[in-house]
Amino acid sequence: MTRNKFIYLNNAATSWPKPEQVIEKALWALRELSSTPGRAGYSALQGEREIFETREEVARLIGAEDSSRIIFTSNATQALNLAITGFLREACHVITTSMDHNSIVRPLARAEDEIGVEVTRVQADEKGMVGVDAVTEAITPRTRLIVLTHASNVVGSIQPVEEICGALGTSDGVRPAVLVDAAQTIGVLPLNVAEKGIDLLAVPGHKSLYGLQGTGFLYIAPGVDLVPLIEGGTGGQSTLVRQPEVLPEKFEAGTPNTPGIAALGEAIRFIHSRGIDNIRNHEQKLIGMLIEGLSKIQGVVLYGPVSPDERVAVLSFNVKDLDPAEVESFLEQTRSIQLRVGLHCSPMSHRTMGTFPEGTVRVSPGIFSTEEEVLSLVEGVRELQKFRRKD
Ligand SMILES: Cc1ncc(COP(=O)(O)O)c(C=O)c1O
């Protein structure tokens, strides 16, 4: 792997670098796979096999019993849009939380405007955590869907998704369906959809799974009925005027991202070779070091849970009386550190944390981040404060 000319601490946006075997697999697919899967005979078979194998890898990873219920998408946003827009019906009720990403907030707002959906937003506490009872107590006879963000992309807080699912009991078509946005967790935290009774699970391939940008998927549990968002060619049942009902074709019209999907399968094999527990331990250690180092610097305010056990490797902070962009610029210029500042496409979370509209400085280490790199960030912030005091 090429060693970096900079320090990359923006894995919550997209992970980087990508594992060498993932890059190799994508290049191999680009070089070797000719015909589009489903759009030719023998020459399309290898691509079809790659896509099938990735579907199986994904199903095993999340505990889905039937891999045809994994729908490949371009990212988590597309998966969330399909789940929300495809599942909601006129005048139904939805429960969600105040830690949502705009890829949940905006399709819900449209559903409010266009089909009269009523949204109850459960408020998270000052650490960005949502209570189990607060969610279950919001259920009404009209509640069709509960949307939960598994871990916040602003402060990293892990929501009690498993406990909420446990409190709801198993999916029986009577209780509301549960949609989980696992954009910051799959690959770092284990989650079994069948055991927990999760009905819809939206995941990007390009964050903690270490696949390419332009990949993601939605899991749809048996019995959950969605309306497709796009219709078109599926490579089969071409005599039908209407979109085929068979899965996954019902939701996968158009040419798939075969190199990206093949590489996603390789990315999941990479995750297994590292071990999810080892990845989590590594990231928790780095987050622990960041919390310890930054909390000792005068004027630094940290947000979210204090314990690394309650969060994924996403940490937000601010330096008193400084705009987050000024902190970013100092760290970039003095130490070539790449991170993200602002609202992180989640203004709702910032309103919850009291950091709206300026946002925060967000640090998100990944598998390839090192102790030296996170210590360099802490040192950079210390230097910044020293520098300011001299002014
Ligand atoms: C919690 C959360 N949900 C959804 C998304 C959207 O993911 P994607 O960029 O793959 O569309 C993100 C991306 O930052 C996220 O962090």
Q: Of 317, 339, 313, give the one whose Cα is nearest residue 328.
A: 339
Instruction: Name 111's Cβ contacts closer than 8 Å, sequence gap at least 6.
Output: 84, 85, 88, 94, 117, 119
119 and 250 in a single domain? The answer is yes
Instruction: State pLDDT tens for residues 53-80.
Output: 999 999 999 999 999 999 999 999 999 9
Residues 366 and 11 sit within 8 Å (Cβ to Cβ): yes
Q: pLDDT digit string (tens) for 137-173?
A: 999 999 999 999 999 999 999 999 999 999 997 655 5
Ligand 1 atom with minimal separation from the 100 CA: 1
CATH number (domain holding residue 311): 3.90.1150.10
Q: Distances from the Cα of 90 to the Cαs of 110, 140, 178, 310, 388, in angstroms? A: 12, 15, 18, 37, 56
Measured CA to CA in angstroms, residue 177 lies from 88, 99, 170 at distances of 10, 19, 10
Closest CA to 305 of 316, 297, 289: 316
CA dist., res. 294 & res. 304, Å (int): 13
Q: Are 368 and 40 in contact (CB under 8 A)?
A: no
Q: Hey, which of 77, 99, 154, 339 would you mutate to test ligand 1's pocket, going by the most ligand atoms within 8 Å of its Cβ?
A: 77
Residue 129 lies in domain: 20-273
β-pair type (340-342, 360-363): antiparallel
Spacing, Cα 321 to ligand 1 middle (Å): 29
Last-in-domain residue among 224, 243, 273: 273
Distance CA 390, CA 115 (A): 58
Does residue 187 lie within any of the structural domains?
A: yes
- Give a yes or no: residue 2 inside a domain: no
**Domain-located, residue 189:** yes
* 115 in a structural domain: yes
Could you tell me if 194 and 64 are in contact, meaning their C-beta atoms sit under 8 angstroms apart? yes
Measured from CB, residues less than 6 Å from any atom of ligand 1 are: 13, 75-77, 101, 103, 149, 153, 181, 183-184, 204, 216, 345
- Does 86 score more than 70 pLDDT? yes
Structurally, the chain folds into a number of domains equal to 2
44 pLDDT band, cuts 50/70/90, is confident
Q: Which of 273, 297, 321 is the last residue of a domain?
A: 273
Q: Evaluate if residue 189 carries a pLDDT over 90.
A: yes
383 shares a domain with 294: yes
- 324-335 helix and 371-390 helix, angle to the nearest 10 degrees: 110
Ligand 1 centroid–CA 28 distance in Å is: 28
CA-closest residue to ligand 1 atom 7: 76
CATH number at residue 52: 3.40.640.10
27 and 13 share one domain: no
- Domain co-membership, 136 together with 283: no
Which conformational region is residue 275 in: left (phi greater than 0), alpha (psi within -120 to 50 degrees), or beta?
left
Kindly indicate the confidence band of residue 236, based on its pLDDT and cuts at 50, 70 and 90.
Answer: confident
Q: What is the pLDDT of residue 1?
A: 47
Domain boundary among 229, 254, 273: 273
Predicted pLDDT of residue 388? 81
Verify that 77 and 163 share a domain, yes or no: yes
pLDDT digit string (tens) for 287-333?
999 999 999 999 999 999 999 999 999 999 999 999 999 999 999 99
Q: If we measure between CA atoms, which residue out of 105, 187, 98, 179 comes closest to residue 146? A: 179
